[in-house]
Amino acid sequence: MFWDSQAWQGIDEYRQFVFDSPAARLAGQLMGSAHINFFFDAVFVRSAGSQFTTPWHQDEPYWSVKGYDTCTIWMPLVPVRKQNALAYVPGSHRHGAVYNQYNFGNLNPDGKMDVDQVDFTEIAEQGFPDIDADPERFGVVSWDMQPGDCVVFNSRIMHGGSGKLDEDRDLSVFTSKWLGDDVRIEFRDCGMDPDHSAIMTEHGLKPGDQPGTDLYPRVWSRAQAD
Ligand SMILES: O=C(O)CCC(=O)C(=O)O
């Protein structure tokens, strides 16, 4: 498995997607936001037969920002079967509870184990539900997808389960994260993943600020689109 993130500043094709594709407009329209800022990209590449499954989790509770108007566009670059694709628990972005999420920092193989560590044990109100034990009860959904299809999901929705691949299938996915009107910078005592607090501070951003600067460029405004 190969994973990379925040590569948009160095890769022209990623920049084109961020600035020139309809993605920002879609995010703005779906979230009902007047403005959209780009947050970051993350790619997930798995070779055929990979058995690494993404643990069930939510995104926004890990982030260095807080807000309901946050979304990810999950965009496979190869055909993907429903059972191999990212899956979602519909409506779970409205639960409002703090779950004891998996610490993705544990998966970091490059030895920098102090990076992107998140520990929800002190703040969690309940354990993360065992969704795989009864996917039907949770109403889990996923879809067969072709290159060109994408799923846009609220960053508080429970999602996971992707990447346990059939022997004849590889999977390459480009994901992009977008921020709308109610989003503010937030530094979390439990840790953050990805932890942008240092680079935000370098750019003069502090908790409570709206994301901006060339780190999180404004890529779409409803007023200019009208
Ligand atoms: O594609 C995957 O396996 C994980 C994607 C994901 O969890 C995300 O984009 O938040």
Q: What is the CATH number of the domain that holds 162?
A: 2.60.120.620
Residue of 1, 72, 116 to mutate, ligand 1, most atoms within 8 A of C-beta = 72
Ligand 1 pocket member 59 (CB < 6 A): yes
Backbone φ and ψ for 164, nearest 5 degrees, come out as -85, 95
Listed residue (53, 68, 33, 42) closest to 153, CA to CA: 68
Number of domains in the chain: 1
pLDDT digits (tens, 9 = 90+) for 112-164: 556 778 888 888 889 999 999 999 999 999 999 999 999 999 999 999 988 88
Report how far ligand 1's centroid is from the alpha carbon of 160 (Å): 7
Against a cut of 0.75, is the pTM above it?
A: yes
* Ligand 1 pocket test target in 5, 44, 92 with most atoms within 8 Å of CB: 44
The domain in which residue 58 lies consists of 2-225
CA angle centred on 218, ends 213 and 221, rounded to 5°: 150
Average pLDDT over residues 46-74: 95
User: Closest Cα to atom 7, ligand 1: which residue?
Assistant: 160
pLDDT digits (tens, 9 = 90+) for 158-167: 999 888 898 9
CA 127 to chain centroid: 21
